[in-house]
Amino acid sequence: MSAEDVLLVGCCLRGEPGAVQELIERFQSNVFGLCVRLLRHRQDAEDVTQEVFLRVFRSLKRWDSTRSLKPWIMGITVNRCRTWLSQRARRPELIAYLQDTAASPAADGSAELAREIQLAVEELRLEYQSVFVMFHEQGQPYEAIAEALGKPVGTIKTWLRRARLEVLDRLRRRGMISEVDDELP
């Protein structure tokens, strides 16, 4: 819990536009980044991000002020993405543009490798993807991820280890790892 979060939420509950905008700006990159990785479509990710913030503000009264705000918002994000994915699976006409991912890094060597990693991550199951993106791309600690996903820290560690091994395995099968280095670290 942070006193700053409590103050900000109090102002948001009073309907102060400045506080509302500040809260959105504070979390929008994390929320949108996770949505893009999980949904693999920029427009869908924008829609879900908007939906996430609407839900956050609608249920802000129910936020437990003894806990951090960020894991709570990230938990809502993962849940909305999961719901969106299940709805999208029932609409086959949308499958065609699933690979329209937002960030297309430059085509140099490291960027290409990073892109390959992202593709490998996209093939993971949703829980592994969430954990991997929140830890490796957003730099969130285990405790925050565990709180967001409502799982014990041990489970999150196990998921992350499995996710890494799967990603490495896929990179190796694509011939990406041998290009990195064969020298000792």
The binding site for another protein (CB under 8 A) comprises 15, 17, 20-21, 24-25, 28-29, 32-33, 36, 42, 45-46, 49-50, 53-54, 57-58, 102-103, 105, 110-111, 113-115, 117-118, 136-139, 157, 161, 164-165, 168, 171-172, 177-178, 180-185
Indicate the residue among 148 and 176 with the shorter CB distance to another protein: 176
Minimum distance between the CB of residue 56 and another protein, rounded to whole angstroms? 9
Minimum distance between the CB of residue 60 and another protein, rounded to whole angstroms? 10
Minimum distance between the CB of residue 36 and another protein, rounded to whole angstroms? 4
Minimum distance between the CB of residue 82 and another protein, rounded to whole angstroms? 19
Write out the chain in H/E/C secondary structure.
Answer: CCHHHHHHHHHHHCCCHHHHHHHHHHHHHHHHHHHHHHHCCHHHHHHHHHHHHHHHHHCHHHCCCCCCHHHHHHHHHHHHHHHHHHHHHCCHHHHHHCCCCCCCCCCCHHHHHHHHHHHHHHCCCHHHHHHHHHHHHCCCCHHHHHHHHCCCHHHHHHHHHHHHHHHHHHHHHCCCCCCCCCCCC
Angle at the Cα of 176 from the Cα atoms of 171 and 180, rounded to 5 degrees:
120
Indicate the residue among 92 and 107 with the shorter CB distance to another protein: 107
Indicate the residue among 9 and 36 with the shorter CB distance to another protein: 36
Please report how many Cα atoms fall inside a 13 Å half-sphere around the Cα of residue 151, on the Cβ side.
Answer: 17
Indicate the residue among 3 and 106 with the shorter CB distance to another protein: 106
Minimum distance between the CB of residue 92 and another protein, rounded to whole angstroms? 26
Indicate the residue among 85 and 114 with the shorter CB distance to another protein: 114
